[in-house]
Structure 1
Amino acid sequence: MDTRYVGIAELTQVPSVAVVIDVMRAFTVTAWAFARGAERIVLAESLDEALALKARHPDWVAIKDGPPAPGFDMVNSPGMLRSMDLSGRKVVQKTTAGTVGALAVKDASLVLCAGFVVAEATALLLRSRAREAVTFVVTGEDGRAEEDLACAQYIALRAAGGAPAGAAEQAAPFLHRAATSRAAEELVTGVRAGVHPDDVALCLERDRFPFAIVASRDAGVMTLRACEVPAAATEDD
């Protein structure tokens, strides 16, 4: 599998297959939303669009980065979201990096959104497209976010093959890079707003969920859905 790693600004052409990475915290939050029962997630291009969608659909759950704000139901925190019941609900999400990256590759033939929590399931889907070039979009810090690059490289490694039983040993150095990243430090020290004390730990839970997150155009908006990949369930290793 031919892979390349780019920042959002480096996307000069539409890739065939794109994997958009935002470990801390957009797509960890997305995964938790699906785990808590969300039916689908719509990505908004701006805060105003998110609020407009919420106004048209009052039963939707609106999520944003940073501190709480009027009109939004939740901030971009897996630690806070994990206690919500989202059964059958639709979610609209707007973040600084992750949603921007996904929207930047909306015309790709396959778009996956990922973090460590869905790494193996994402890798398994990529294996079925092994003959295609894969572009990993590193969304944080203009393409330099260590946690996102580490996750992208780990998923690429897993997509190249390997039994689930060996995943823990392979993952260790990549998880360490993420745990010692600038983003992790900012979350722990309170530089970023809207943070739960468990956020970093939750973002570093490898293969917490047995599904991949697939993005597609739906009625003019970018929509995320969980795609179950049963074989992604890993052994205790």
Structure 2
Amino acid sequence: MDARFAGIAELAEAPSVAVVVDVMRAFTVAAHAFAQGAERIVLAESLDDALVLKGRHPDWVALKDGPPAPGFDAVNSPALLRSADLAGRTVVQKTTAGTVGALAVKEASLVLCASFVVAEATARLLRTRGCGAVTFVVTGEGGRAEEDLSCAQYIARRATGAAADASGFLRRAAGSRAAAELAQGVREGSHPDDVALCLELDRFPFAMVAAWEDSLMALRPCAVPSPADGDSI
């Protein structure tokens, strides 16, 4: 597999296959939302668009980065989302980096959104689809966020079927600027458990696929077949 790693601003054109990585915290939050029963996650272009969608669909759950705000039901924190009842509901998500990255590659033939909690399922889906060239979108810090880059590199290695010791990749993520800011409470709308939840490797058995649905970019969980005999794990 030919893997390319790029920041959002470096995407001159839509790749054929894109894996958009946001570890802390958009796509860790998305995975937790699906685990709590959410049916789909609509990726909003802006906070105003998220509020418009919420106004049209009062039963949807609107979620944003930062502190709580009028019109929004939740913030972008996996720990704070634990008490939310999401069974069968649509979540509207707008974040600073993750949703922006996914929408930047919305014309790709396959868009996966990923973090450590769905790393192996994401890699397995890439193997199952036989993807020859994959662009990993490193969403944080202009493509330099260590937590996103380390996760992208780990998934890329596993996507080839090669064995990989995750501990080094997780250590890099744990030492990242984002992890430090979350641990120190610098980022509003966070919880002390967020970093640990973002560093849980392969907590969930599904990948997350984004595709167009009724003029909206929607993310859904995708069950991935179990590894074939002889596949590296």
Task: Give the TM-score normalised by the residue count of structure 1.
Answer: 0.94
Aligned amino acid, residue 215 of structure 2:
G
Aligned amino acid, residue 30 of structure 1:
A
Aligned to 1:208: 203
**CA distance in structure 1 between the aligned counterparts of 2:131 and 2:25, rounded to whole angstroms:** 30
Deviation, structure 1 residue 82 = 1.8
Q: For residues 101-120 of structure 1, what are the structure 2 equivalents within 5 Å? A: 101-120=101-120
**CA distance in structure 2 between the aligned counterparts of 1:230 and 1:108, rounded to whole angstroms:** 23
Q: Is the 8 A contact 2:185 2:192 kept in 1?
A: no
Aligned to 1:20: 20
**CA distance in structure 2 between the aligned counterparts of 1:145 and 1:173, rounded to whole angstroms:** 16
Q: Is the 8 A contact 1:43 1:94 kept in 2?
A: yes
The Cα RMSD (Å) is 1.2
Aligned amino acid, residue 206 of structure 1:
L
Aligned to 1:68: 68
1:46 paired with 2:40, answer: no
Aligned amino acid, residue 91 of structure 1:
V
Q: Is the 8 A contact 1:16 1:132 kept in 2?
A: no
1:182 paired with 2:177, answer: yes
Percent identical pairs in the alignment equals: 75
Aligned amino acid, residue 137 of structure 2:
V
Q: Is the 8 A contact 1:215 1:225 kept in 2?
A: yes
Aligned to 1:77: 77
Aligned amino acid, residue 53 of structure 1:
L
Aligned to 1:199: 194
Aligned amino acid, residue 140 of structure 1:
G
**CA distance in structure 2 between the aligned counterparts of 1:131 and 1:148, rounded to whole angstroms:** 21
| SS, match of residue 83 in structure 2 | coil
| SS, match of residue 206 in structure 1 | coil
**Residue segments in structure 2 that go unaligned for 5+ positions in a row:** 228-232
Aligned to 1:37: 37
Aligned to 2:147: 147
Aligned amino acid, residue 142 of structure 1:
G
* Residues 1:189 and 1:137: Cα distance change in structure 2 (over 3 Å): same
Aligned amino acid, residue 69 of structure 2:
A
Deviates more, 1:78-87 or 1:146-155: 78-87
**CA distance in structure 2 between the aligned counterparts of 1:229 and 1:11, rounded to whole angstroms:** 28
**CA distance in structure 2 between the aligned counterparts of 1:195 and 1:20, rounded to whole angstroms:** 22
Q: For residues 208-227 of structure 1, what are the structure 2 equivalents within 5 Å? A: 208-227=203-222
Deviation, structure 1 residue 202 = 0.2
**CA distance in structure 1 between the aligned counterparts of 2:194 and 2:146, rounded to whole angstroms:** 17
How many positions carry a matched residue from both structures?
Answer: 228
| SS, match of residue 231 in structure 1 | coil
Q: Is the 8 A contact 1:20 1:111 kept in 2?
A: yes
Aligned amino acid, residue 152 of structure 1:
A
Q: Is the 8 A contact 1:211 1:230 kept in 2?
A: no
